[in-house]
Amino acid sequence: MSQRQGFAGGFLAGAIVGGIMGGLIGSAIAQRRNKTQQEDNHSLLEAGDGLRFETEEEMEKARRSLENKIAQLNHAIDDVRQQLGTVHSNGTEEK
């Protein structure tokens, strides 16, 4: 009977100590991993070559540049749609 009481006490002590040690080790690993991820992550406001926008003017210039590129892409898409529409309509007329 005394062995069972010793086992229960040892088991309880081991569970508590193990939980505390696991928590400490887990938190240390999480902190390291978080620091590594912060170093690896790039802000959305960073340029592709690692430069950051320092002023509002630089951000505005980048925004305008992106808007111009989007407009060019939309124009190219419209041209292709018109060409495909012409080809498609020619194909239906021939039948």
pLDDT computed for residue 94 by the predictor: 45
Q: What is the pTM of this model?
A: 0.37
Backbone angles phi, psi at 46, to 5 degrees: -90, 145
**40-82 pLDDT, tens digit each:** 665 544 555 555 667 888 888 889 999 999 999 999 999 998 8
How far apart CA 95 and CA 91 sit, in angstroms, is 7
**6-46 pLDDT, tens digit each:** 787 888 889 999 999 999 999 989 888 877 777 666 554 45
